C-alpha cells in the first residue's frame, strides 16, 4: 500500500510538472521564445542575486571584518558607483558590437571578480572586488534592453519584460535565501563562491545557446517560433512588419498625432558620439520622465534590499529560520507584480489607451507607498505580511511598463546608449541609497544607533518620493504619443526601419 501510494504521488507530481511546462510554453509563445526569455532573465538574476546576497550576509560580513552599518552600505554603494561609471561606454559598445559575445565575456569576468571577493580579508580588498564586479555587471542593462527590442514584437514588450524582470525578482530572493543559508551553515565567502560558479556555467550557456538577432525589427521571435534563430519579419505572420505589431504606433497613427520636428532624426545615429546621443535622448521629454521615475523607484528598492533582513529581524523579532521562510513569501508578491504589470499595460495599450505604459506604473507606485505604511508601523508579522505582500507586488509591477515605454520613444539604433544613460543615473541613485538609508537609520535611532525604530523612520521618509513618482509619470503621459510618433518618423527618414535595414 505504501509503495502504491508513493507511485501515485510520483505520477501526480509528474502530471503537475508536465501541465506547468506546457502552460508555460503557451504563455510565453513556445520553447524557442522561452529559451531566450530564460537566458535574458538569468542575466538580470545573477546581478540581483549578488545584490541580494550582500543584504543576506551583511551581519556575517560585519562580524568577520569588523565594520559598521555605514561601511556595510558602502559595499553596495561602491558596486553601484563603479557600474555607473562603466555603463556609458558600455552603451556605445552595445550599439556597435555583437551583443551576445560582449555579454558572455562580461559574465565570465564577473565570476572572476566574485571569486576574488570571497577571498577578501579586509574591507579595502572587498571594496576593490565589488568595484570590479559593478563595472562588469553594468553590461547587463543595455544589452538586455537592446536584445529584448530586437527579439520580441513591440506589442508585447511590457509582458515579455515582466517575464525577464521576474528573473531579477527571483535573483534577489535567491541571493537572500541561499546566500543567507550558506552564510549561516558555512560562511559568507561560500555564498560569493557559489554565485561565481553559477556565473561561469551561465557564461558557457550564453555563448552556446543565445543567437545574435538582427537589429531594428528585421527579425523577431513571434509566438510559435520553432528556433531561436529568428526569421526575417516579412517571413512571419504574412508580412507583419514593425509598425503592424506595435499597438502604440497604430493608435498614434489613427489619432493623427504627428512627430516633434525638432527631434526627428534624418541620419542613422549608430555613429553618433556619446555626448551627442546623451544630449538627444535627454531632450525626449517622455524619456526624461521615465528615467526620473525609474531612478526614484530603484533608489527605494536599493535601500530596502540592503536593510530588509536587518529590519524584519529586529522589528518582528524573527530568527534566521523564520526570516528564511518569510523572504520567499514576500518574493512571491514581487514576482506576481512584475508578471502582471506588463500584461495589464499591454492589454490596455491594445484597447486604445495609448499612455497605458505611463499610467499603470503611476498607479503601482502610489499603491506600494500606501501599503508599505501599515506594514512598517506594526510589530506583528501576521498583520504586516499581507500589507508587505501587496506593497512588494505593486513596487515591482511598475518596472515592465516603464522599460517597454523607453523602447517605444527611442530610435532602435540608440537603445544601448539610451539605456546606459538611464542606468548611469539609476545606478548612481542605487549607489547613494544604502548609505543614505544607513545614515538616516543611525541618526533617527535611539542614541544615534541603528535599530528597528531608526530603519522604520528611514523607510517612511523615503516613501514620500516613491509616491511622488505617480505625479511625475502622469505629467509625462501627454508627451508619450508624440514621442512614439517621433521615433517612428526617425526610423523611416534615416532609412533604418525594418523594411530597409539589411
Max CA pair span of the chain: 78
Q: Which three cell numbers stand for residue 52?
A: 541580494
Q: Which three cell numbers stand for residue 332?
A: 512571491
> Do 138 and 425 meet the contact criterion of CB atoms below 8 Å apart?
no
Sign of dihedral through CA atoms 277, 356, 466, 42? Answer: negative
Distance CA 319, CA 180 (A): 12
Distance CA 252, CA 238 (A): 23
What does the pLDDT profile of the chain (502 residues) look like in tens digits?
A: 455 565 676 677 777 767 767 777 777 777 888 888 889 988 888 888 887 777 777 778 877 777 777 777 777 778 877 888 888 899 999 998 889 999 999 999 989 988 888 888 888 888 888 888 888 888 888 999 899 988 888 888 888 988 898 887 778 777 777 877 787 778 888 888 888 999 999 899 998 888 888 887 666 777 777 676 655 544 444 333 454 457 788 888 888 889 999 999 988 898 889 999 999 999 999 999 999 998 998 888 888 877 877 787 777 777 666 666 677 788 788 889 988 999 999 999 888 888 899 999 999 999 999 999 998 888 888 888 899 899 999 998 999 999 999 999 999 999 999 999 998 888 778 778 878 888 888 888 776 555 678 888 888 998 998 899 888 899 888 899 999 999 989 988 886 544 444 3
> Do 242 and 484 meet the contact criterion of CB atoms below 8 Å apart?
no
Name the packing angle between helices 399-408 and 356-377 (round to 10°): 160
Residue 257 DSSP class: P
Distance of CA 80 to the CA centre of its chain: 14
Distance CA 445, CA 204 (A): 47
Distance CA 427, CA 253 (A): 36
Please give the angle made by the CA atoms of 271, 131 and 119, to the nearest 5 degrees.
140
- φ, ψ for residue 220 (rounded to 5)? -140, 150
Helical spans, DSSP H, in 29-98: 31-56, 58-65, 69-96
> Do 432 and 301 meet the contact criterion of CB atoms below 8 Å apart?
no
- Closest by CA to 245, choosing from 163, 162, 354, 157, is 157
Sign of dihedral through CA atoms 336, 339, 344, 345? Answer: positive
> Do 153 and 222 meet the contact criterion of CB atoms below 8 Å apart?
yes
Amino acid at each position: 500500500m505504501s509503495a502504491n501510494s508513493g507511485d501515485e504521488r510520483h505520477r501526480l507530481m509528474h502530471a503537475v510538472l508536465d501541465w506547468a511546462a506546457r502552460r508555460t510554453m503557451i504563455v510565453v509563445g513556445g520553447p524557442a521564445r522561452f529559451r531566450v526569455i530564460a537566458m535574458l532573465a538569468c542575466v538580470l538574476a545573477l546581478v540581483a542575486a549578488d545584490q541580494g546576497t550582500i543584504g543576506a550576509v551583511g551581519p556575517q560580513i560585519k562580524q568577520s571584518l569588523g565594520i559598521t552599518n555605514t561601511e556595510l552600505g558602502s559595499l553596495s554603494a561602491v558596486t553601484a558607483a563603479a557600474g555607473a561609471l562603466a555603463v556609458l561606454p558600455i552603451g556605445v559598445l552595445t550599439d556597435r558590437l555583437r551583443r551576445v559575445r560582449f555579454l558572455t565575456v562580461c559574465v565570465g569576468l564577473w565570476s572572476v571578480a566574485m571569486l576574488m571577493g570571497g577571498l577578501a580579508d579586509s574591507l579595502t580588498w572587498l571594496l576593490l572586488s565589488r568595484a570590479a564586479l559593478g563595472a562588469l555587471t553594468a553590461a547587463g542593462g543595455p544589452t538586455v534592453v537592446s536584445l529584448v527590442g530586437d527579439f520580441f514584437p513591440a506589442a508585447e514588450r511590457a509582458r515579455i519584460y515582466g517575464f525577464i524582470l521576474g528573473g531579477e525578482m527571483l535573483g534577489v530572493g535567491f541571493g537572500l535565501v541561499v546566500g543567507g543559508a550558506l552564510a549561516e551553515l558555512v560562511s559568507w565567502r561560500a555564498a560569493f563562491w557559489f554565485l561565481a560558479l553559477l556565473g561561469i556555467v551561465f557564461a558557457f550557456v550564453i555563448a552556446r545557446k543565445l543567437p545574435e538577432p538582427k537589429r531594428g525589427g528585421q527579425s523577431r521571435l513571434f509566438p510559435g517560433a520553432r528556433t531561436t534563430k529568428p526569421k526575417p519579419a516579412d517571413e512571419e505572420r504574412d508580412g507583419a512588419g514593425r509598425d503592424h505589431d506595435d499597438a502604440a504606433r497604430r493608435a498614434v497613427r489613427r489619432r493623427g498625432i504627428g512627430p516633434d520636428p525638432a527631434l526627428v532624426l534624418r541620419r542613422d545615429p549608430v555613429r553618433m558620439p556619446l555626448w551627442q546621443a546623451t544630449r538627444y535622448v535627454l531632450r525626449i521629454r517622455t524619456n526624461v520622465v521615465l528615467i526620473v521615475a525609474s531612478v526614484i523607484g530603484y533608489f527605494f528598492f536599493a535601500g530596502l534590499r540592503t536593510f530588509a533582513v536587518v529590519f524584519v529581524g529586529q522589528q518582528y523579532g524573527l530568527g534566521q529560520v523564520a526570516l528564511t521562510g518569510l523572504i520567499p513569501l514576500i518574493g512571491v508578491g514581487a514576482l506576481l507584480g512584475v508578471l502582471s504589470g506588463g500584461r495589464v499595460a499591454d492589454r490596455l495599450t491594445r484597447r486604445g489607451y495609448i499612455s497605458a505604459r505611463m499610467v499603470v506604473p503611476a498607479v503601482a507606485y502610489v499603491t506600494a507607498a500606501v501599503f508599505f505604511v501599515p506594514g512598517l508601523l506594526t510589530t506583528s508579522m501576521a498583520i504586516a505580511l499581507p500589507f508587505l505582500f501587496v506593497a512588494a507586488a505593486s513596487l515591482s509591477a511598475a518596472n515592465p511598463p516603464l522599460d517597454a515605454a523607453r523602447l517605444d520613444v527611442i530610435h532602435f539604433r540608440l537603445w544601448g546608449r539610451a539605456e546606459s544613460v538611464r542606468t548611469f543615473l539609476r545606478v548612481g541613485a542605487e549607489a547613494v541609497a544604502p548609505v543614505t538609508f544607513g545614515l538616516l537609520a543611525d541618526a533617527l535611532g535611539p542614541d544615534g544607533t541603528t535599530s528597528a525604530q531608526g530603519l522604520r523612520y528611514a523607510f517612511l521618509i523615503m516613501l514620500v518620493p516613491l509616491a511622488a513618482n505617480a505625479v511625475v509619470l502622469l505629467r509625462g503621459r501627454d508627451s508619450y504619443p508624440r514621442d512614439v510618433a517621433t521615433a517612428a518618423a526617425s526610423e523611416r527618414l534615416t532609412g533604418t526601419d525594418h523594411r530597409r535595414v539589411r
